[in-house]
A and B are shown apart, each in its own frame.
Chain A
């Protein structure tokens, strides 16, 4: 009896896992594209140009090179059949209606002047954009619910060309896909270089029919960024820097190969954890960080605080902060996300973020510069 049950259990498990690993691809034979846009910095996408359509190849957000998705951007309906055979998805091009699940996606559209193509957003309370709020009030843009659990009926009703989402692991968009709405994953925040993240502007631009514009804009950002980076490399000294704060007893700080670490490196700083491996965060406890950072020059503090931040405010938040050298010498570089819009807009302005950082630690190099996001927290 037990044997039968065990075999049954194994059989069911095998069947179920086979279903889940259903990532077959349509493209049986490889056809050479006319040209390809291979991003210099971003690693998550590639754009192939075929005579009949453009193709976006989205790689697996977590680096599995055997998994990828192909989207055909179809202008000419006549080749629909062919495109369907050779791609996982065929999207209307340029898109007239799409769903943006986060505020950064709205920001992309804003940069490209294409906000009017958005027909639905999730969690509008987090989107600061005035235009979007207006349209929601008017009813021309719909609130589709939670980003992790959007309302399928509203989505179907909107008949969008696609829904743009952040990378996800389980299959909680299965219902939406089977309803015929393509889910396009924007993996920008998984890039760990600042320029890599910003380059996804090209990806969004291509989808929205403004590929060339996006490429130009990105080029400008890239140039500016590299200029500033050059300047920083010329700095005489490399100040040490650490970042993060205590929350619920844990101090999170980026690892040595991460997005923030790259900013530090490019800004001519010596990030105290730059030699650690990984692109995510380290979770440390207070002892470790105070031991390592007690004499570090600068403390980059990114927080979301409802009122103005001062040194005495910081002390109130946690008395342990006063022991850091950067606190004692009043060398905290800060951005208060509640009014700096760092998280909404900073992603697409890496050149400005970098300039802010360089200005903060190498003021002489930047001349008469006005920082946008990061400033020195002045002593009262």
Chain B
């Protein structure tokens, strides 16, 4: 099987004339298969956009090669390239008097005739794509009457109906709310698998990427691109290297970023389950180091039986029982523990 997208020692950047070449990244060696869903992650200013633009064919590569289906990207003629890679970008569309159908239908541009008339098959594919992205019934809805999330789905449908093996998305969820973000990333994963597309998503949603991506590409300023499956990257401390800054730690355990905090006092927490987890979370948040060892500090028992309660036991032995964590924190504050 030919690799869908393959870069070899690719260098990307900007060239303002021969003299002013600005190279952002070198030696990029990545590949993407059909059916694979990859996420490109990296801090702002890392050069993600430049890489995306190079892979989509918007800007030329500086050095090395990038091939789609074995052929160099810049060897594709304009019309051919339109059938090879489709894009979904961050920009918001500003059109009036356009329906979802009209928008998605534009994805058939590389296939329609001189005036852009849609054939029967084109219309069928458009409606199918609209359904595939979960916008069934929205075909005649005006774009201006839709939410941002719905609009981006329509853009994805457009990319779908463009019938390219490769789909590249540049932060399409940037301005969307969390539920929409989740929906979209889930949709992309599904489409990659069901439609056998190679999908590359540039995003800041680290959490979603870890949960859903087949591959993750990590890009940061001054570092070479690292690619791999999410778990390997985590364990190889990839995220640590790429994202950590002063005061921000990547916790390999939880798979998320923890904010370092000055922790002054210690409290012992005893218990199991979800209440135990979130109690520890609350105490850490308010500045306590938690431990399960006994010592010269107060301790809290999590009573997860029929009556859920948090029992605070001070050093002098006095006990308090609280029903909510908030009350507990209040209690701790009052007694200046």
Q: When A and B assemble into the complex, do they touch directly, with CB atoms less than 8 Å apart?
A: no
Chain A residues close to B by CB (< 8 Å): none
Chain B residues close to A by CB (< 8 Å): none
